[in-house]
Amino acid sequence: MKVRIDPEKCQGQGRCFSIAPGIFDFDDLGSGVVIGDGTLSDETMELARLAQANCPEHAIFIEE
């Protein structure tokens, strides 16, 4: 499973990189970015889902 952020939807609300700093980071404009290729382990999956559930813009996607 992989996580990605849709850059068209992301407005820099900042929830993902606060909740899951190991999975998400921010760029120079404060937009959320996925660290590496976004592959999730069993341990990181739960945090990624929590970040997804806190994104007001619904910009986080977790896919096969």
Partner 1 sequence: MTDIPLVQDFATDWDHSDPQWVADPYPIWEDLRQRCPVAHTDRYGGGWFPATHAGVSEIAKDTDNFTSRTVVIGNGRPGELDLPAPIGVAPPITSDPPFHAIARRLILPAFAPGPINALEPMIRELCAGLLDGSDGKDVVNAGTDYARYIPPGVIRGMLGFPEEDVELFLEFVHIILEGIDHPEEDRIIEFEPVEAYFVAQMEDHIANPRDDLTSYLLNVELEGQKLAMEHVFGTMVLILVAGIDTTWSAIGSAIWHLAHNPDDLARLVNEPDLMPVAIEEFLRFYAPVTMARLVKHDMEYMGCPMKEDDWILLGFPAANRDPIAFKDADRFIIDRAENRHVAFGLGIHRCAGSNLARLEMRIALEEFIKRYPRFELAEPDAVTWAPGQIRGPRNLPIRILR
Q: Which amino acid is at 4?
A: R
CA 60 from chain centre, in angstroms, equals: 5
Summarize as ranges the residues that interact with partner 1 (CB under 8 A). 11-15, 17-18, 26-30, 50, 53-57
Kindly report the backbone phi and psi dihedral angles of residue 36, in degrees, each rounded to the nearest multiple of 5, phi listed first.
Answer: 65, -145
Q: Which helix (H) or strand (E) holds 43?
A: helix 42-53
User: Looking at beta carbons only, is 56 or 64 nearer to partner 1?
Assistant: 56
| Shortest Cβ 53–partner 1 spacing (Å) | 4
| Shortest Cβ 22–partner 1 spacing (Å) | 15
| Shortest Cβ 33–partner 1 spacing (Å) | 12
